[in-house]
């Protein structure tokens, strides 16, 4: 497939963003270990989420699709069955880390694998706390995939101070704690996503949480629930930035999840002068949602502090694009975590920005981007995406502000998180061409 993003004269209209990927993973897993049948509406059907769904099926969970929703027949905490083969998670760090926690307390052995990219990502950060709990888990000599989990005699709750704020690590610990003796308490230095905590509470767990501390007490069961998944904010971010940097634009995004631990980008873009209005606020279960209206804006440079990074980590690539069309020099502090995502995203973005003729440089662990303002037009080029969906979509948005076009290498990667991206973009007026 060849994907070219061409200069656009403006975006207009309204769309509904597909379900949140992070919440979709958690909804499937929690429903699978509940007692009773749960109905999940607006589940994101990306490759990442479908790999988690298929893994749960291999573990003996009956999941069917009826009338636009997924029905999950829960088997309880101990009702999973030994899979006949290794569990494959593709490119999904979320899926494999959450499921590692869940499988840590089962009475059978499992092996978890992923694609080439996921197989290079560090797993030591989840292995360390799980091993402290008594879990028999091991990886390669480099602490990467495959992960092997063997039944343990006893798993105990843990008091754990997180070295780095991470929703995936925190969630792995929480899922393991469902089958552990005693309570688990997790402390973080800064806020990270709390989707797992909210989902646990919705399914009936004895859990308390604040911005930086979570306590899970002995929980014997989950009760099935019907779940409506909010629109994915990380997916929305691409079109929010697209409308801001494109002249003569106004768009509305419907039913977007606005979890407080996810909306750092929205706050940052407003600080930069973005014309963004949030309205029609309500709840889907325990998750806040709202509609978002976005208009063309003249942006100014921003500073991202170290405490901002955990809640901006997935949106940093598209924020880099926004800063490229802002006025002034933007500064990003302590963003080394960006090197350990689906690709070395910092390196990939630096390379692409240089092809855009946007000056950027790394000074120690601080990254700088010299913005060129809203009138700037990028030269034409082919961007290497390293098969990373967020790199691909970020430069697709940059292509709307090119002198003619930007060609996106490996556009198939977009299907891992947002297969509807191109079609929804076209609906808004993005000049995307696929051949």
Alpha carbon 384 to its chain's center: 21
Euclidean distance between CA atoms 228 and 23, whole angstroms: 10
Quote the DSSP letter at residue 231: B
The DSSP 8-state label assigned to residue 230 in this structure reads: P
Give the model's confidence band at 116: pLDDT under 50 very low, under 70 low, under 90 confident, else very high. Answer: very high
Please state the rounded mean pLDDT for residues 330-338: 91
Which tokens belong to 144? Answer: 């990467």
pLDDT tens-digit series, residues 402-413 = 999 999 999 999
Q: What is the pLDDT of residue 269?
A: 98
Residue whose structure tokens are 């975006």: 11
Query: Are 67 and 94 in contact, with CB atoms under 8 Å apart?
Result: no
Residue count of the chain: 435
Average pLDDT over residues 32-47: 97
Fold of 21-228: UDP-n-acetylglucosamine1-carboxyvinyl-transferase; Chain (3.65.10)
Q: Is the pLDDT of residue 307 over 80?
A: yes
**What confidence score (pLDDT) does residue 156 get?**
97
DSSP per position, 170-206: HHHHHHHHTTSBS-EEEE-SS----HHHHHHHHTT--
DSSP 302-340: -EE-GGGGGGTTTTHHHHHHHHHTSEEEEEEES-GGGGG
Q: Residue 362 pLDDT > 80, yes or no?
A: yes
- 341: confidence class by pLDDT, cuts 50, 70, 90: confident
Residue ranges of domains in the chain: 3-19+231-434, 21-228
The pLDDT, as a whole number, for residue 89 is 98
Residue 284's pLDDT is 95
CA distances from 390 to 123, 217, 317, 382 (A): 21, 37, 7, 16
Q: How confident is the model at residue 194 (pLDDT cuts 50, 70, 90)?
A: very high
Region 138-154 average pLDDT: 96
Sheet containing 147-150: order of strands:
87-88, 110-113, 147-150, 136-138
Mean predicted lDDT score pLDDT of the chain: 96
14 sits in which H/E element:
strand 12-16
Choosing from 20, 115, 291, 314, the catalytic residue is 314
Copy the structure tokens of residue 273: 């002068």
pTM score of the predicted model: 0.94
Decide if 307 is catalytic.
no
What pLDDT score does 336 carry?
84
Is 3-19+231-434 a CATH 3.65.10.10 domain? yes
Task: Kindly list the strands in the beta sheet with 159-161, ordered across the sheet, starting from the edge strand earlier in the chain.
Answer: 159-161, 184-187, 213-216, 207-209
Give residue-wise pLDDT tens across range 221-271.
999 999 999 999 999 999 999 999 999 999 999 999 999 999 999 999 999
Distance separating alpha carbons of residues 103 and 107, to the nearest angstrom: 9
| Span 373-399, pLDDT tens digits | 999 999 999 999 999 999 999 999 999
Contacts of 72 (CB under 8 A, 6+ apart): 28, 31, 32, 34, 37, 38, 39, 40, 56, 61, 62, 63, 224
Closest CA to 357 of 344, 347, 371, 343: 371
Q: What is the pLDDT of residue 212?
A: 93
Q: Kind and range of the H or E element at 23? A: helix 21-32
**Distance between first and last Cα of the chain:** 6
- CA-CA distances (angstroms) from residue 403 to 5, 216, 229, 322? 11, 54, 38, 17
| Pairwise pLDDT comparison (150 vs 117), residue with the higher score | 150
Which residues make Cβ contacts (< 8 Å) with residue 373, sequence separation at least 6? 298, 325, 326, 327
């Amino acid at each position: 497939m060849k994907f070219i993003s061409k200069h656009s004269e403006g975006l207009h209209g309204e769309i509904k963003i597909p379900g949140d990927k992070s919440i979709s993973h958690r909804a499937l897993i929690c429903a699978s270990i509940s007692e009773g049948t749960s109905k999940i509406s607006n589940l994101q059907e990306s490759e990442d989420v479908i790999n988690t769904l298929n893994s749960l099926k291999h573990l003996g969970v009956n999941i069917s699709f009826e009338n636009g929703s997924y029905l999950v027949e829960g088997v309880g905490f101990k009702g999973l069955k030994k899979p006949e083969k290794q569990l494959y998670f593709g490119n999904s760090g979320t899926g494999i880390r959450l499921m590692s926690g869940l499988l840590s307390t089962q009475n059978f052995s499992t092996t978890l694998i992923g694609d080439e990219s996921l197989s290079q990502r560090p797993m030591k950060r989840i292995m360390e706390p799980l091993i402290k709990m008594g879990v028999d888990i091991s990886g390669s000599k480099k602490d990467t995939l495959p992960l092997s989990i063997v039944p343990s005699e006893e798993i105990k709750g843990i008091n754990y101070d997180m070295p780095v704020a991470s929703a995936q690590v925190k969630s792995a610990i929480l899922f393991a704690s469902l089958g552990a003796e005693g309570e688990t308490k997790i402390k973080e230095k800064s806020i990270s996503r709390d989707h797992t905590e909210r989902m646990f509470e919705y399914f009936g767990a004895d859990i308390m949480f604040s911005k930086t501390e979570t306590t899970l007490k002995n929980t014997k069961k989950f009760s099935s629930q019907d779940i409506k998944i909010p629109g994915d904010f990380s997916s929305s971010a691409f079109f929010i930035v697209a409308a801001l940097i494109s002249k003569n634009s106004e768009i509305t995004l419907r039913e977007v999840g606005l979890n407080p631990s996810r909306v750092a980008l929205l706050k940052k873009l407003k600080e930069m002068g973005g014309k963004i209005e949030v309205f029609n606020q309500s709840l889907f279960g325990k998750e806040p949602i709202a509609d978002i209206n976005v208009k063309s804006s003249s942006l100014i440079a921003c500073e991202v502090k170290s405490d901002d990074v955990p809640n901006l980590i997935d949106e940093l690539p598209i924020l880099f694009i926004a800063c490229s069309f802002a006025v002034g020099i933007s500064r990003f502090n302590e963003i080394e975590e960006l090197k350990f995502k689906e690709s070395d995203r910092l390196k990939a973005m630096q390379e692409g920005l240089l092809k855009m003729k946007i000056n950027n440089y790394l000074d120690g662990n601080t990254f700088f981007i010299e913005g060129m303002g809203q009138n700037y037009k990028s030269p034409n080029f082919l961007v290497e995406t390293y098969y990373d969906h967020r790199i691909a979509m970020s430069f697709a948005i940059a292509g709307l502000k090119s002198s003619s076009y930007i060609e996106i290498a490996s556009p198939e990667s977009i299907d891992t998180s947002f297969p509807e991206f191109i079609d929804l973009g076209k609906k808004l007026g993005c000049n995307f061409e696929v051949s």
